[in-house]
């Protein structure tokens, strides 16, 4: 089912969200730039599973796409990483797990003198209260702030 190069991960890809039918195969995407392999059958299913090998260890993460958002007329790009830039959509929302908590990661364009993107992470605390943090610089910066909470 998968190309031979996926066998190098030597990790079972287990995600209850993926159920394929004979007419609906999982899509495998190898991203050479980020060293991630993505498994999905989007848009039939909102779930995406990513596997990455880093320092000889396997890391995996699952995501649920809530909203792809839209690109405004004046679009912001991610900061260059290895010379690659990606467009950042407005109102993009994805659910995942960070540090054992289910979180909602969102983007919101801020239209003021200078256009900026607010990268937001929301979660529910032990008392059922919705908490959030944000960064105006990057999603990675927002994640770092979240991990300090």
Predicted confidence (pLDDT) per residue in 28-53, tens digit: 777 776 677 888 888 889 999 988 88
Which has more confidence, 117 or 3?
Answer: 117
Q: How confident is the model at residue 11 (pLDDT cuts 50, 70, 90)?
A: very low
Q: Percent of the chain having pLDDT more than 70? A: 81
**Whether the predicted pLDDT of 73 surpasses 90:** yes
Q: Which pLDDT score, from 0 to 100, does residue 52 have?
A: 85
Q: Is 92 exposed, middle or buried (0-12, 13-18, 19+ CB in 10 A)?
A: buried
Residue 83 and residue 132 share a domain: yes
Q: Record the pTM.
A: 0.76
Residue 145 and residue 88 share a domain: yes
Residue 77 and residue 148 share a domain: yes
Residue 45 and residue 97 share a domain: no
Q: Domain ends where: 62, 87, 109?
A: 62
**Whether the predicted pLDDT of 4 surpasses 60:** no
Own/partner contacts of 110-117, CB < 8 Å, gap of 24 or more, are: 110/136, 115/72, 115/74, 115/76, 116/76, 117/76, 117/88, 117/90
**Whether the predicted pLDDT of 91 surpasses 90:** yes
Residue 58 and residue 72 share a domain: no
Give me the domain span that covers residue 37.
Answer: 1-62
């Amino acid at each position: 089912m998968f190309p031979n190069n996926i066998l190098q991960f030597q990790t079972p890809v287990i995600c209850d969200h993926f159920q394929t039918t004979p007419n609906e195969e999982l899509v495998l995407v190898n991203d050479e730039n980020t060293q991630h392999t993505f498994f999905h059958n989007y848009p039939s299913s909102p779930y995406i599973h990513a596997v990455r090998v880093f320092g000889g260890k396997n890391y995996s993460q699952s995501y649920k796409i809530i909203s792809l958002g839209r690109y405004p007329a004046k679009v912001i790009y991610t900061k260059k990483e290895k010379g690659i830039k990606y467009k950042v959509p407005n109102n993009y929302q994805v659910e995942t797990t960070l540090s054992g908590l289910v979180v909602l990661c969102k983007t919101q364009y801020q239209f003021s003198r200078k256009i900026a993107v607010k990268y937001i992470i929301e979660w529910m605390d032990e008392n059922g209260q919705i908490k959030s943090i944000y960064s105006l610089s990057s999603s990675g910066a927002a994640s770092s702030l979240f991990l300090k909470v």
